[in-house]
Structure 1
Amino acid sequence: MISILVPIYNCNVYPLVLELHKQCSDCGINFEILCQDDASQSNLNIFNKNVNALSDCSFVSLKENIAHRENRNSLAEQAKYQYLLFIDGDSIIIDNNYIKKYIDNLPDFDVIYGGRLHPEKCPSENQKLRWKYGRFIEDKTSENRRKKPYKSLLFNNTVIKKDCFNKVKFDKNIKKYGHDDTQLSYQLNLLQVKINHIENPVEHGDIDTNLDYLNKTKESLENLISLYQEEKIDVEFVRLIQLYYFLKKTKSAFIISKLYAVFEKSLLKNLTGNNPNLLAFNMFRVGYLCTIN
């Protein structure tokens, strides 16, 4: 029936697995839960080892880091069932019928995405940028996601048929952070697989600090441009690439890069502060995008 694949890096996955195990058992389905830590050498793995005491569950800690994309690929290769549920180790299950909702929606679709939510209250002022962007920009209802089914797809909290995943997989040659979901969604778009968006979100548990998120954003933008330049993604598939292409074509990127250099410190001061502004974040992203060669 279903293989639940949980890539881990430095987090305690046992409470998540315990809830997933309970719900799968209550549904009376054939299942397995495979957890794989990407050589984090975390002290939290002491708790993660308890996963091995649960029926049809396993936890493994890799000796060498293979990066998040290849960790997902590796888990998929080990999976023995037809359906794969990808769920990140820092996710929080917020619905007692979470597994049942997926099981009820499996027929007739190659991919099913349940969505993601951020908590109603920000955990701390030092996490406000990631929390704001997640809660007010990224979090979408299934109705909104269905309007652009491929572009609204993330691979945390997604069920995909194994034979479908094997046609695409995550690009193991790319090591930088970011847009692995975008690239895979683009490949699924080319294949025109059947996607369903349902209301079955998990909560984003481990929210980055402001500075960490800014650094990840920079690396993500660099990776996005690389994907475009290597023709691994089409210009029309991502709005930021469309904007980048337009600014380059109109020779506006150079001017914006100079303006970014002038205002960078002011933007960073706001974005790493207690009340980051999302407009300032967009200005930061566009400005940094224009500095990438």
Structure 2
Amino acid sequence: MITQLSILLPTYNCYCMRLVAALHAQCAAIRALTFEIIVADDASTEHRYVEANRSIRQFDHVSYIECEVNRGRSGIRNFLTAQSHYPFLLFIDGDLALDNPHFILQYLSSQADIVVGGITIGGTVELWKDNLRWLYEKRSECKHTVERRQQYGFRQFRSTNFLVRRVVAERCPFDESIRIYGYEDVLFGKFVEQQGFTIAHIDNPVQLNEFESNALFLQKTEQSLRVLSGCRNRLQGYSSLLHVIEILHRLRLHPFFKQLYHLFGSRIKHRLEGNKPNVFLLNIYKLLFFASLINPKEDV
């Protein structure tokens, strides 16, 4: 059983007081556990979040670090690893919620080098029916059951909620060359797999309850696809979209899809940013946008 644990929360423009309080209460109730909770704000642009989160310093064994320069999703996780002290690290995104009273206990009995707890999607259709991120995440939930995640191992690694041995995190840092949103966790999962470490998926989720606007979600989606385009040689076998592009390339259809993006991309995007978004249309937009990023004469 794990007896020493560092809980590491990267935050950016979000409140994390409730999550920290829930994690602290669970840890404090386990007498055999020595723990610390370190929250690092990655230079949030909205200062109200920084000010509100300072109240977490009232808890024992909790540190709150305010970064002056944005390190990015990879950099902030590596920074948190360097700030931690204990042999097991539990990473949780700061904008998530906890509704499982046995969340910490379930992790403490873990044996693998990396353990992924998963995520559930909160909210109701009445509240979020016009939100593209919520619709997309709800549609994808069936692909992220513990059975499905365990079947695909490292290809289903997600950095929102995972436990890792400190020696693994130090030997396999997140790739800081990726400065914008997207695929840093996929690359981490691939690198760890190549190093021969073990992974386990368990049913120990955190909950996502807040969802960005349709326009912001599309902006982040486009950023992630740019990362995928730049890293496509490294991510072969780790992306279904790359597989589809390979097929289009072999069938000489890639130029056609690229032209479709130039003809219809802006209209599809406008529809997705509206109040009646559609997940099927989102998947079409992602394919067309990604096709537009790649030169048909290049290898894919």
**TM-score, length-scaled by structure 1:** 0.93
Matched to 1:205, the amino acid is N
Counterpart residue number, 1:203: 207
Provide the rounded CA distance (Å) in 1 between the counterparts of 2:9 and 2:287.
33
Counterpart residue number, 2:173: 169
Provide the rounded CA distance (Å) in 1 between the counterparts of 2:209 and 2:77.
19
Provide the rounded CA distance (Å) in 2 between the counterparts of 1:266 and 1:44.
35
Deviations 1:132-164 (A, max 9, x none): 111111462211211101111101110010101
Provide the rounded CA distance (Å) in 1 between the counterparts of 2:59 and 2:216.
35
Counterpart residue number, 2:73: 68
* 2:264 pairs with 1:259: no
Counterpart residue number, 2:114: 111
Deviations 1:181-215 (A, max 9, x none): 11111112212321111111111133121111111
Matched to 2:132, the amino acid is L
Listed as ranges, the matches of 1:217-228 within 5 Å are 217-228=221-232
Listed as ranges, the matches of 1:74-93 within 5 Å are 74-93=79-98
Counterpart residue number, 2:149: 145
* 2:17 pairs with 1:10: no
Counterpart residue number, 1:20: 23
Deviations 1:15-45 (A, max 9, x none): 1111100000112211000001111152122
Q: Structure 2: 5+ residue runs without aligned partners? A: 295-300
Deviation at 1:260?
2.2
Provide the rounded CA distance (Å) in 1 between the counterparts of 2:48 and 2:267.
38
Provide the rounded CA distance (Å) in 2 between the counterparts of 1:236 and 1:65.
31
Question: What is the DSSP-based 3-state SS (H/G/I as helix, E as strand, rest coil) of the residue aligned with 1:208?
Answer: coil
Q: Structure 1: 5+ residue runs without aligned partners? A: none
Query: Could you tell me the percent identity over the aligned residues?
Result: 28
Q: Give the counterpart of 2:190 among 157, 166, 186.
A: 186
Matched to 2:173, the amino acid is K
Counterpart residue number, 1:59: 64
The answer to whether the 8 Å contact 1:235/1:245 transfers is no
Deviation at 1:172?
1.0
Deviation at 1:259?
1.6
The answer to whether the 8 Å contact 2:73/2:184 transfers is no
Query: How many equivalent residue pairs?
Result: 287
Provide the rounded CA distance (Å) in 2 between the counterparts of 1:235 and 1:182.
11
Question: What is the DSSP-based 3-state SS (H/G/I as helix, E as strand, rest coil) of the residue aligned with 1:148?
Answer: helix
Deviations 1:244-266 (A, max 9, x none): 23323433111011122222244
* Change in 2 beyond 3 A, CA 1:16/1:49: same
RMSD value, Cα: 1.6
Q: Give the counterpart of 1:97 among 102, 114, 117.
A: 102
Question: What is the DSSP-based 3-state SS (H/G/I as helix, E as strand, rest coil) of the residue aligned with 1:44?
Answer: helix
